[in-house]
Amino acid sequence: MADFLIGTSGYSYKDWEGEFYPEGTESGNYLEFYSRYFRTVEINSTYYKLPSPYLFFNLLKKTPDSFVFSCKAHSSMTHARDADEDTFNGFIKSVNILKEAGRLGAVLFQFPYSFYFNNNNLGYIEKIKSKFSETDIVCEFRNSLWLNNEVCSLLCKLDIGFCNVDEPRLPKLLPPTSIVTNGVFYLRFHGRNKEKWWNHAQPFERYDYMYQQEELEEWIPKINDASSKVKKALVYFNNHYKAKAVKSADMLMNLLNLK
């Protein structure tokens, strides 16, 4: 049976005060409070800024020994795709702090919609795995052209996880799947705010969505089937506006009897 963990994508949001964190909570105390309710979190800050080892040392100190961190690869590895050897090595050195502590879920490579399915980009994925050969990594694709047997076969061969998603039902975005290509089942809930997915004034508007129970119930058979095939299952809610991710994650935990 997989080690089944549910959490949120990020935890350090000021607008969670009064919704999840008590009013006036210092940001430095967010994670300790969060870890009372969840056993995992996906760190998003590593996408924007290359992490130092001290970041992860500090995160480990604030959480129980059973708490697990996943983290997003830096933008230079997924969007710009111009990371040099020092960037890769520095990132891996920092992530190894979590790995050596037995507290690393996976490193998520979230590629943009403009990262198209073609031979060059297939080769880039092989390059990524050569850098992270000893680390559990997962690829998230935003373009549905990646949803094919060739990609799944390559990910299986390279021992890379496939990131399943729940997102708006829009043309060329990925539909709900429960694909397993290695020992990690990874699932991200982005919300279904199709009106704001492409047209938004502020980035948070895309993720301003509260899941309904029946929408999460649709996933129960997929989650149960996939999690029976892997060593660990990691589920993160990215609909972060006003702590809707927390409320949605809590609902799914109740539906799966994980509380």
Tell me the pLDDT of the chain (259 aa) as tens digits.
Answer: 578 999 999 999 999 999 999 999 999 999 999 999 999 999 999 999 999 999 999 999 999 999 999 999 999 999 999 999 999 999 999 999 999 999 999 999 999 999 999 999 999 999 999 999 999 999 999 999 999 999 999 999 999 999 999 999 999 999 999 999 999 999 999 999 999 999 999 888 999 999 999 999 999 999 999 999 999 999 999 999 999 999 999 999 999 998 7
Domain span at residue 68?
A: 3-255
Residue with tokens 């050195």: 93
Nearest CA among 132, 189, 197, 145 for reference residue 166: 189
State if pTM tops 0.95.
Answer: yes
Give the Cα-Cα-Cα angle 58, 64, 190 (nearest 5 degrees). Answer: 80
98 membership: H or E segment, kind and range:
helix 85-100
**Burial group, residue 3, by CB count within 10 angstroms (0-12, 13-18, 19+):** middle
Q: Give the Cα separation of 7 and 234 in Å (integer).
A: 8
Q: Which two tokens stand for residue 171?
A: 């043309």
How many domains does the chain divide into?
A: 1
| CATH code, domain carrying 98 | 3.20.20.410
Question: What would the DSSP string read from start to end of 166-211?
Answer: E----TTSPPP----SSSEEEEEE----HHHHSS-SSGGGGG----
